[in-house]
């Protein structure tokens, strides 16, 4: 982690704040590297974080058995791995509507009609989950009152430039240079 600032003591304080937030959110192992620039005189804050690789996403077909009962005109989803139950239920409610998802017992769901398109429904995406947590951390790290924010994230690099006035091109350039540095590391 590199924290740059015109105020050396302020840089130390920000490093401590970042470490505390990462510890609270249990993000330390998930961030490979980070660059931060703080300038209290120019009133700018630049943050770039490189996320670690995550495991692949899980699709509904990986953790369930999906059958169509022609006579009843119902699709029955039988859960093979109960660890995914909350994710499956949440995703089915989102995709099909809460009122259309019936759960006759703990390990099965029933939908009306032939729902043969559910096999590839993504029910758990560790990359997207991590990305949300990293953005949460970033917005906790940003100084109070910095309302003008430009997201310059690319691929697995989350990067933002913040200020309470107009964002200058030189700040964007510094942020993009951080992104380039992190991509090459």
Q: Which runs of consecutive H residues, i.e. helices, occur in 112-168?
A: 126-141
Closest CA to 37 of 181, 155, 135: 181
For residue 68, the enclosing domain spans 58-124
Q: Is the dihedral of CA 131, 49, 47, 184 positive or negative?
A: negative
List per-residue pLDDT tens for the chain, 185 residues long: 788 888 888 889 889 999 999 999 999 899 999 999 999 899 999 999 999 998 899 999 999 999 999 999 999 999 999 999 999 999 999 999 999 999 999 999 999 999 888 999 999 999 999 999 999 999 999 988 899 999 999 999 999 999 998 999 999 999 999 999 999 98
Token digits for 148?
A: 């003008």
| φ/ψ of residue 25, rounded to 5 | -90, 0
70 and 100 housed in the same domain: yes
- Check residue 128 and give its pLDDT: 93
Token digits for 103?
A: 């759960």
Residues 161 and 146: their CA atoms lie apart, in Å, by 10
Domain count, the chain: 2
Q: Please state the pTM of the whole predicted model.
A: 0.81
Query: Helix (H, G, I), strand (E, B), or coil: what is residue 15?
Result: helix
- Check residue 55 and give its pLDDT: 87
Angle at 53 between CA 176 and CA 141, to 5 degrees: 50
Residue ending a domain, choose from 82, 103, 124: 124
48 and 132 housed in the same domain: yes
Residue ending a domain, choose from 89, 104, 124: 124
C-alpha distances in Å from residue 140, one per residue of 13, 24, 25, 29, 73: 15, 11, 10, 18, 49
| φ/ψ of residue 170, rounded to 5 | -65, -30
17 and 33 housed in the same domain: yes
39 and 76 housed in the same domain: no
The region that residue 181 occupies, defined by phi over 0 for left and psi between -120 and 50 for alpha, beta otherwise, is: alpha
Residues 143 and 154: their CA atoms lie apart, in Å, by 22
71 and 41 housed in the same domain: no
What is the end-to-end Cα distance of the chain in Å, rounded? 12
117 and 130 housed in the same domain: no
* Dihedral angle over CA of 41, 28, 128, 180, nearest 10: 50
175 and 130 housed in the same domain: yes
119 and 130 housed in the same domain: no
Residues 35 and 137: their CA atoms lie apart, in Å, by 14
Residue ending a domain, choose from 124, 152, 174: 124
């Amino acid at each position: 982690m590199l924290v740059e600032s015109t105020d050396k003591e302020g840089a130390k304080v920000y490093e401590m704040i970042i470490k505390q937030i990462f510890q609270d959110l249990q993000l330390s192992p998930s961030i490979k590297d980070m660059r931060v620039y703080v300038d209290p005189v120019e009133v700018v804050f630049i943050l770039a974080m490189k996320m670690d690789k995550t495991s692949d996403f899980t699709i509904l077909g990986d953790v369930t058995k999906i059958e169509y009962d022609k006579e009843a005109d119902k699709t029955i989803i039988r859960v093979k791995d109960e660890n995914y139950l909350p994710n499956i239920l949440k995703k089915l409610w989102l995709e099909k509507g809460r009122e259309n998802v019936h759960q006759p017992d703990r390990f099965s769901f029933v939908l009306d009609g032939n729902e043969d398109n559910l096999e590839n429904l993504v029910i758990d995406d560790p990359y997207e989950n991590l990305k949300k947590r990293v953005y949460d951390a970033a917005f906790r790290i940003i100084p109070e009152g910095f309302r003008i924010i430009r997201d310059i994230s690319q691929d697995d690099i989350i990067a933002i430039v913040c200020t309470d006035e107009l964002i200058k091109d030189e700040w964007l350039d510094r942020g993009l240079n951080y992104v380039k540095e992190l991509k090459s590391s």
